């Protein structure tokens, strides 16, 4: 069974869209979305600095655009996804890309919604200086009480020995200087806020309004939710979960558990791939993985898709 996943914030790097612009129609599509959401995706994906694309209002639309552009090279429509993909999911903002790929919303609607999401979360993040840091290694039973003691939230429980903490800048600094016993490293992330915590509550209100009149369809492919790793079959429930997830922890560990229960044999990560395939290699041994980093990876992805179809 093939699982298709889309990465979250922090996966972006300067210039990562450059090779994708060589593909027919990609630049035109990006410029179309750019005009619709009033954000120059081509500029930010090719010429912008690391600091510029760290801005939440920029990073989120850029990431969803990249996931859609890359995945659409393999699956032109939601029906194409449904014909081959057994389950789909996205990490944090990647959930919006997954919602489009499964047919719950259109690509254009996903881009409009992610623009609202990015702006709302950036505004919420500006209230207090906050951030996030990844803890690598360590026992969850030790890490979680340590975070609670420091006033931090386990915003992403990613499995494979990785938990991402979120809180104020002072709390993150305290964690860097006092990591939990057994944790190998604490790595501050390239994000501009304490996402998936109570600090994002104002953004939830904005998104509730933005999605109230949205026309949604039930997903054509199993959609695995960040909230609890459950398969969601209702389009309206899926959108409600997307809204609430902004201020609640991402349980990617449970998403991977669901992939395993569903019988995953192959996992493909949309651009800018790497993070989720890395987690899968550790948590889902024996599963074939492929990250779409550049168009050079597309042929190998097509071969994997063909292999899954033949099984």
In sequence order, which residues have a C-beta less than 8 Å from that of residue 172 and are 6 or more positions away? 130, 131, 132, 133, 152, 165, 188
The CA-to-CA distance between both ends of the chain, in Å, stands at: 9
Q: What is the DSSP letter of 131?
A: E
Strands 162-168 and 183-188 come out as unpaired
CA–CA distance, 92 with 156 (Å, rounded to integer): 9
Residue closest to 160 by CA, chosen among 85, 292, 259, 244:
259
CA–CA distance, 62 with 82 (Å, rounded to integer): 25
Q: Any idea of the CA torsion for 254, 188, 289, 160, to the nearest 10 degrees?
A: -40
- Is residue 146 flagged as an active site residue? no
- Is residue 34 flagged as an active site residue? no
Catalytic position from the list 92, 146, 199, 225: 92
CA–CA distance, 144 with 146 (Å, rounded to integer): 5
DSSP state letters, 156-179? EEEETTEEEEEEEHHHHHHHHHSP
Catalytic position from the list 67, 70, 146, 196: 196
Catalytic residues: 92, 196
């Amino acid at each position: 069974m093939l699982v298709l996943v889309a990465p979250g914030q922090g996966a972006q790097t300067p210039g990562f869209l450059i090779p994708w612009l060589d593909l027919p129609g990609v630049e035109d599509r990006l410029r179309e979305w750019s005009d619709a959401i009033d954000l120059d995706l081509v500029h930010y994906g090719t010429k912008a600095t690391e600091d510029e694309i760290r801005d939440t209002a920029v990073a989120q639309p850029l990431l969803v655009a990249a996931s859609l552009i890359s995945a659409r090279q393999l699956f032109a429509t939601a029906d194409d996804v449904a014909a081959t993909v057994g389950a789909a999911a996205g990490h944090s903002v990647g959930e919006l890309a997954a919602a489009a790929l499964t047919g719950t919303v259109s690509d254009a609607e996903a881009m409009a919604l992610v623009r609202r999401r990015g702006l709302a979360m950036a505004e919420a993040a500006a209230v207090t200086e906050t951030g996030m840091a990844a803890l690598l290694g360590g026992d969850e039973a030790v890490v979680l009480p340590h975070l609670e003691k420091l006033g931090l939230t386990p915003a992403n429980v990613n499995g494979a020995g990785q938990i991402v903490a979120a809180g104020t800048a002072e709390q993150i600094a305290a964690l860097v200087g006092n990591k939990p016993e057994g944790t190998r490293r604490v790595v501050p992330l390239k994000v501009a806020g304490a996402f998936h915590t109570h600090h994002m509550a104002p953004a939830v209100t904005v998104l509730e309004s933005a999605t109230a009149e949205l026309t949604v369809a039930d997903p054509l492919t199993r959609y695995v939710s960040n909230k609890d790793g459950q398969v969601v079959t209702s389009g309206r429930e899926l959108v409600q979960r997307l809204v609430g997830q902004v201020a609640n922890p991402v349980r990617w560990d449970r998403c991977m558990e669901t992939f395993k229960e569903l019988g995953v044999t192959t996992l493909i990560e949309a651009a800018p791939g790497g993070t989720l395939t890395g987690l899968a290699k550790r948590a889902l041994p024996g599963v074939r993985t492929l990250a779409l980093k550049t168009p050079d990876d597309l042929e190998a992805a097509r071969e994997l898709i063909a292999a899954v179809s033949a099984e």
